[in-house]
Amino acid sequence: MRVITGSARGRKLLTLEGDDVRPTTDRTKEAMFSSIQFDIEGAKVLDLFAGSGQLGIEALSRGAESAVFVDKNKQAIEIVKKNLQSTSLAKHAIILNTDADTYVTTTKEKFSFVFMDPPYAKGFLQKMLPLVENVVSAGGAIICEHPYGEELPEELSAMKIYRSYKYGKTAVTVYR
């Protein structure tokens, strides 16, 4: 797993070990960023269910102003810290060891982009999408990675599916 482009291009990233770990492939990550490539410069980004932090790190490498990384797993948080240090992007990051729903229901921050790649088949996206919509700034987007075939709502209260892509067994859905 590596940073695809930008200031940290080519840097390898650490990831958690285990059967439950499912790093985003380069192909899927490139697709996620191609849909926002002209809007990422100067953006504020939230990497919810951060895992290794690779989505927020990719955004920072491509010129995002700042990124907040949220994960409830302490080992994941340690990996995010190490990856931010190795890419020299730590000064643009806030790392929080907390539940996703606790963070999005208590923060006053607004984000240009929210990346969501939660554990599969646990209903996290369906539960979190209505909450996450409230932390997206005007003109922003929610970008979700999920198993292909998983049903997501067509519309939230103020956002709707803008695009959906399929990459093997993985899908990426963008709400605007």
Predicted confidence (pLDDT) at residue 27 exceeds the cutoff of 90: no
pLDDT tens profile 34-65? 878 899 999 999 999 999 999 999 999 999 99
Phi, psi of 75 (to 5 degrees): -65, -40
Six-digit token string for 103: 């963070």
pLDDT tens profile 85-133? 999 999 999 999 999 999 999 999 999 999 999 988 788 999 999 999 9
* Total residues belonging to the chain: 176
- pLDDT interval class at 20 (50, 70, 90): low
Say if residues 146 and 134 touch (Cβ distance below 8 Å).
no
Crossing angle, helix 54-61 and helix 26-34, to 10 degrees?
A: 50
Pairwise CA distance, residues 25 & 127, whole Å: 25
pLDDT tens profile 62-87? 999 999 999 999 999 999 999 999 99
Domains in the chain, start-ordered, CATH in brackets? 26-175 (3.40.50.150)
Say if residues 95 and 102 touch (Cβ distance below 8 Å).
no
